[in-house]
Amino acid sequence: MERILDVKNLHVDFKTYNGTVHAIRGVDFHLNDGETLAIVGESGSGKSVTVRSVLRLLAKNASISQGEVLYHGEDLLKKSEKEMDNLRGNKISMIFQDPMTSLDPTMTIGKQVAEPLLIHNKVSKADALKRAEEVLRLVGIPNPKARMKDYPHQFSGGQRQRIVIAIAIVDYPEILIADEPTTALDVTVQAQIIDLLRELQQKIGTSIIFITHDLGVVAGIADRVAVMYAGKFVEYGSVDEVFYDPQHPYTWGLLDSMPTLNTSEQDRLNSIPGTPPNLLNPPTGDAFAPRNAYALQIDTEQQPPFFKVTKTHYAATWLLHPDAPKVTPPVSIQQRFKKYQAWLEGDVK
């Protein structure tokens, strides 16, 4: 499978009044042709900064201090701003979190969807509007020809998110970055948007980087998962490996805090104690150690390397060192794995 995007040793810093925040600290990942990679983690873990770095859409006080972002072997960090303008929204496109802030309230929907075509392609206005109508139909907007003349406030939240998706895919990009595209939507609409992204991936052949803090969403869309904490990846693998054989205590905590079908309104969800570290002064050892009930002495002294679990599954935890004490995941995580195994074997419908 061809790698179309390869991010190597990415470091991103933010200059603040209090000093330099080391937001991204040596991130490596790749995206294969036609796959969906999900990046998950708590708010503030660095997910959005990581993917915005790919398109060089960072705040003025941010800088990429180290690393490479290779798109088909070419380093995007070395390209001019004009070259990046030609690539953004054309070859690599992005769906942003809040559809109301992404849409211009003073422009009709048809003009907003057609705009990327007019910028990136030598097409007439009529042809661009025709393509906009086709894409609005593709993302499920009813009666798109008539509704192209409407404004954002005339659509529901779910429809606005579909319109934002239409703008992102109107050029049929090779890579689609979806940054928390379902956060502000109710559960039913979330499921519809996830189904839509899966359908679009098959129809237009795009590869997707999906950013979320909701592991439940990941299960329905991802091929591979990368778990992020304090500006670093701590575990990555196939969706089944990360969900049903997690190895890092942080991943255990994220999974343990997920509601299940048996969770009632009266039940209290588990949470990870403590707070993430201050990245003005990143810790010497494992950043998760102060919140980790299974932390070893070495966790406070050295950052763990990635240990190989399978040929596609890696986790950065000293618990995987051959000399580490054997630790089993929490009972709730083991139960999830057993239920999944039973389902695979046909014992549970």
Q: How many CB atoms lie under 10 A from the CB of residue 270?
A: 14
Is 298 part of any domain? yes
Tens digit of each residue's pLDDT (9 = 90 or more) over 47-96 = 999 999 999 999 999 999 999 999 999 999 999 999 999 999 899 999 98
Chain center to CA of 192: 18
Statement: residue 233 has pLDDT above 50 = yes
Q: Is the pLDDT of residue 156 over 70?
A: yes
Q: Count the Cβ atoms, other than its own, within 10 Å of residue 6.
A: 16
Sequence-ordered list of residues with C-beta below 8 angstroms from that of 276, at least 6 positions apart, any chain: 42, 44, 45, 229, 230, 287
Residues 6+ apart with CB under 8 A from 109: 103, 136, 147, 148, 149, 150, 151, 152, 155, 163
Read off the tokens for 155: 């659509």
Provide the H-helix boundaries in 3-108.
47-55, 81-87, 99-102
162-221 pLDDT tens trace: 999 999 999 999 999 999 887 767 778 888 888 889 999 988 999 999 999 887 788 888
Number of domains in the chain: 1
What whole-number distance in Å separates Cα of residue 331 and Cα of residue 341?
15
Q: What percent of the chain has pLDDT over 90?
A: 72
Structure tokens at 250: 């942080």
Parallel, antiparallel or unpaired: strands 19-32 and 3-16: antiparallel
pLDDT at 349: 44
Q: What is the mean pLDDT of residues 139-151?
A: 95
Is residue 211 domain-resident? Answer: no
CATH number at residue 332: 3.40.50.300
**What was the pLDDT predicted at 238?**
96
- Determine the average pLDDT of the residues in 229-247: 94
Q: In the prediction, which pLDDT does 308 show? A: 97
**Which range has the worst mean pLDDT, 142-146, 260-264, 286-290, 337-341?**
260-264
How far is Cα of residue 186 from the mean position of the Cα atoms in its chain? Answer: 19
Please report whether residue 259 resides in a domain: yes
What pLDDT, on a 0 to 100 scale, did the predictor assign at position 186? 77
Question: Could you give the angle at the alpha carbon of 33 between the alpha carbons of 27 and 34, nearest 5°?
Answer: 115
At 263, the pLDDT band (50, 70, 90 cuts) reads low
Sheet with 3-16, edge to edge strand ranges: 19-32, 3-16, 62-71, 74-75
Give the Å distances, CA to CA, from 88 to 52, 120, 135, 169, 173.
Answer: 11, 9, 18, 11, 9
| Domain assignment of residue 251, given as a range | 231-344
> Which of the four pLDDT bands, split at 50, 70 and 90, describes residue 337?
low
Coil/strand/helix, residue 320: helix
**Average pLDDT score over the chain:** 90
How high is the pLDDT of residue 38?
97
Is the model's pLDDT at 122 over the cut of 90?
Answer: no
pLDDT number for residue 142:
94
The sign of the torsion formed by the CA atoms of 282, 284, 287, 290 equals negative
**Residue 172, in any domain of the structure:** no
* Nearest C-alpha neighbor of 132 from the set 183, 172, 176, 166: 166
Structural domain includes residue 294: yes
Asked if residue 320 belongs to a domain, the reply is yes
- Whether 64 and 84 have beta carbons less than 8 Å apart is answered as no
* 88 DSSP 8-state letter: B
List all residues 6 or more positions away from 248 whose beta carbon is below 8 Å from its beta carbon. Answer: 227, 234, 235, 288, 315, 316, 317
pLDDT at 135 over 60: yes
**Within a domain: residue 215?**
no
Asked whether the beta carbons of 189 and 199 are under 8 A apart, the reply is: no
Identify the pLDDT of residue 138. Answer: 93
Position 341 pLDDT exceeds 60 = no
Please check whether residue 203 lies inside any domain of the structure: no
16: pLDDT strictly greater than 90: yes
Residues 6+ apart with CB under 8 A from 175: 4, 5, 31, 71, 91, 92, 93, 206, 207, 208, 209
pLDDT of 343 over the 60 cut: no
Is this prediction's pTM over 0.85? yes
Containing 6, the helix (H) or strand (E) segment is strand 3-16
Neighbours of 97 (CB within 10 A): 17
User: Which amino acid belongs to residue 153?
Assistant: H
Strand order, beta sheet including 307-308: 92-95, 175-179, 207-212, 36-40, 224-229, 232-238, 314-315, 307-308
Quickly tell me which residue has 């690393």 as its tokens: 67
